[in-house]
A and B are shown apart, each in its own frame.
Chain A
Amino acid sequence: MIALAVLRRLLVALATLVGVAIVVFVLLRVVPGDPVAMMISPGASAADVAALRAHYGLDGSLLSQFAVWVRYALRGDFGTSISLHRDVLALLGERLPATLELATAALEFAVIVGGATAIAGAMARRTWAESVIDAVNGLLLAIPDFVWALALVLAFGVVWPLLPLTGRVNPSVAAGMATPFYFAESLARLRFDVFFDLLKHLALPTLALGLPLAAVIARVLKGALNEAMAQDYVLLARLKGMSELRLVLQEALRNAIGPTLALTGVQFTFLIGGTVIIERIFAYPGIGNMAIEAVINRDLPLIQGLVLVFAVIFILINIAVDLLVALFNPRLRHA
C-alpha cells in the first residue's frame, strides 16, 4: 500500500520532470539570440557557421533536436557548454556542491534559529517578549532574501567590514582540496583553516537566505506550540509538576512538529530558488550564479542542464517532505 503510494508519487515526479524539460527546450529554441553567432569570429564564412551549427546539432527541427537531447540525457550526457566549452555534467558536478553547502547551511540556520525562537516565544506566551518576537518575525517575513542580502552587503561591506562580501573560500587557503565538497573534506582532513574560511564566506549568504525561512518556522511552530500548550494532556503534565521548558519540549513539541515540517519543506524549495540571486550578489560560485551567466551567454545546453537539476532538487525535496510528514504523523503512518 505504501509502496504503491511512493510509486505513484515517483511517476508524477517523472511526468513533472518531462514537462519541465519540454518547457525549457521550447523556451530556449525561441530565444532570438543565436548562440553560434556569439561563439564564432565575425569574419567566418557561411560554410563555417553551418558546420558549427551541424556540430552542435542546431540544424535539425525542434522535434528532432529534442529527441536527440533526450536520448543523450538518458545516457547521462547533457552535452557541451557553448560558452565554457566543457561537459555540462562535469560543470554541474563542480558547482552543485557549493550550492548544496549554502542551502544546507541556510536550512540548518533557519531550523535552529526559528526553532529556538518558537520555543522561547511559546514559553513567553502573552508577555511583551512574545510581542517583540512577533514584530521582528513580521518584518523578516515581509522582506525577501534579495533585499536582506543587499542590506547585509551594506552593513558588513561599509559600516562594519568584518566578513568577506564575495566568493566561497580564499583560493590560497583551499589550494589543496581534492573534492568540490569543501566542507566535508575540510572536516575529514582536519583542515580547520579551510573550514573557518568557508564559514566566514558562507555567513552573509546564509543569513540572507536563512532569515526569512527562520521567521516562517518561528511563526508556524510557535502557533502550533501555543495551541498544543492549551491541550488537556499538557495541563495534566503541568499538574504533575513538570517544568515549563520540559512541557514545551517533551509534550507540545512532538505534536507541533508535523505541520511545521510540511511548511518548512515547501519553503525550503523557495530557498533553493533564492540561491540563484543570492549567489549572484555574493559572487558565490554555485549553480545559481552559473545559471545567470548561462542565460546571459545564451548557453543552451548549460541552461537546460541547470534547470533540470533545479527541478530534480525541488521534486526530491517535495517527496522527502511527504515521507517525513507521514513518519511524524501516526494517523497517516497506520493508514
Chain B
Amino acid sequence: MTEASVSSFPAASGPNLATRRLRALLAEPKVTIGGGFILALIAIALFAPWIAPKNPLDQDLMLASLPPAGLASAEPGYYLGTDDLGRDVLSRLIYGARIALIVAFVAASLAALAGTALGLLAGWYRGWVDGLISRLVDIWMAFPPVLLSILLVAVLGAGVGSVIAAIAIIDWTRFCRVVRAETMAQAQADYVTAAHAIGFPPFHILMREILPNVVPALLALVSLEMGIAVIVEAILSFVGLSVSSDTPTWGGMIAEGRQFIHQTWWVFAAPLAALFATVLAFNQLGDGLRRALDPVLRR
C-alpha cells in the first residue's frame, strides 16, 4: 500500500472524529442558538441569588398586583410587576428556571439511560427478550402520558423527586424504540460481522462497537426529551402536584396567574413566555444535533 492511498483514508488525515463532529455542530445555527439560550438559562439558574432583584418569596401586600415596568402605576425595581401577594414576578421567574432545568436534565438522563439499556437488549438479543420488552412498550404506549404522570405523582407523593421519577418511568419508551431499531440496523453492518470474526464476545460488541454508533441519534432525542420534561413539570405544577407552592415554578406561576388573568395578566404571561422560549430552544437544539450528527442528513 502506498503513502498516498493511506492518507486518502479519512480517519488518517486531518482532525480526528471528535473535532470534526464538534465543527459540524458549531456550523449548525440551530445548535448555537438553541444551545446558547440553554447555556444562558443555566447561568441564570445557577446565579439566581445574585441576578434576581428581589427575594422571590417576599410578600408585600402594599405592592401587590403591580404592572410591569413601562405601564401606568408601575413601581421602579419591579421590572415584570408583582403578583396578587406582592411577590416580584421577575425574581420568581429566575428561580423557577432552577426547577425547570433540574427536572429537564435529571429526568431526561434517567429516561435515556433506562430506555437505551432496554433498547440495546431488545435489539441485540431479539427473541423472547425483544418480545417481552416490546410488549411492555405497547402497554406503556396505551396510557395517556399526562394521565399516567399525574397518576404516578399521586402514587409517589408531590415533589421534584416524584416529578423526575414519573417522567423517567413514562418516557423511557421513546428511547427504547429508537435504540432498539438502531441496534437492529447496526447489528447488520459489516463492522459488527468483522467484530464477530475477530472473536469479540457479543456483550463487548454491543457495548463497545454498537453503542457508540447509537449515541448520535440518542443525543438529539435527549435534547427533545428535556423540552418535554420542562413541559411535564409545568403541567404537574399547573395541576398542583409538583413542588410545594413555596418554591417558585413556571407551571405554578401560570396556575396562579390563570386565576387573576383578567386583573394581572403579566403573572400569567411572563412564565408562559419563559416556557415557550425554553421548549423552543431544546427543540431547536435537538433538531440541530440530529442534522449535524446524522451522516446521511449532513451530506
Contacts and interface: CB of A to CB of B under 8 A. Distances in A.
B220 interface: no
A106 to B, nearest CB: 14
Nearest to A154: B269
A280 B135 CA distance: 31
A127 B284 CA distance: 24
Given A143-B280, A298-B154, A150 B262 contact: no
Contact of A154 (B139, B151, B231, B261): B261
B142 A147 contact: no
B27 interface: no
Interface stretch (B62-70, B111-119, B271-279): B271-279
Interface string B156-178: 01000000000000000000000
B150 interface: yes
Interface string B209-245: 0000000000000000001100100110011110000
B147 A154 contact: no
A115 B231 CA distance: 28
Nearest to B240: A296
Output the residue of B146, B152, B261 with the most chain A CB within 10 A: B146
Nearest to A17: B142
B235 A19 contact: no
A276 B269 contact: no
A307 interface: yes
B18 to A, nearest CB: 29
Interface stretch (A44-52, A236-244, A309-317): A309-317
Interface residues of A, number: 48
B143 interface: yes
Given A31-B154, A143-B280, A310 B141 contact: no
A198 B223 CA distance: 39
A147 B144 contact: no
A7 interface: no
Contacts of B151: 24, 27-28, 295, 303, 307
Contact of A151 (B154, B227, B240, B272): B272
Given A30-B155, A296-B154, A310-B144, A146 B231 contact: yes
B254 interface: yes
B155 A31 contact: yes
A165 to B, nearest CB: 8
Interface in A150-205: 150-151, 153-154, 157-158
B283 A147 contact: no
A156 to B, nearest CB: 11
A261 to B, nearest CB: 19
Given A31-B155, A143-B279, A147-B276, A274 B146 contact: yes
A142 B235 CA distance: 17
B261 A158 contact: yes
B265 interface: yes
Given A142-B279, A295-B154, A298-B154, A147 B272 contact: yes
B254 A142 contact: no
Contacts of A276: 144, 146-147, 150
A147 B231 contact: yes
Nearest to A144: B231
A99 B240 CA distance: 23
A15 B135 contact: yes
Output the residue of B135, B144, B147, B280 with the most chain A CB within 10 A: B144
A114 B94 CA distance: 37
Ranked nearest first, the 8 interchain pairs of A and B with the lowest CB-CB distance are: A273-B144, A19-B139, A142-B283, A311-B142, A276-B146, A158-B265, A295-B154, A314-B142
Interface of B: 135, 138-139, 141-147, 150-152, 154-155, 157, 227-228, 231, 234-235, 238-241, 254, 258, 261-262, 265, 268-269, 272, 275-276, 279-280, 283-284
Given A30-B155, A288-B147, A295-B147, 8 more contacts: A20-B143, A27-B151, A28-B151, A146-B231, A147-B276, A273-B146, A311-B142, A315-B142
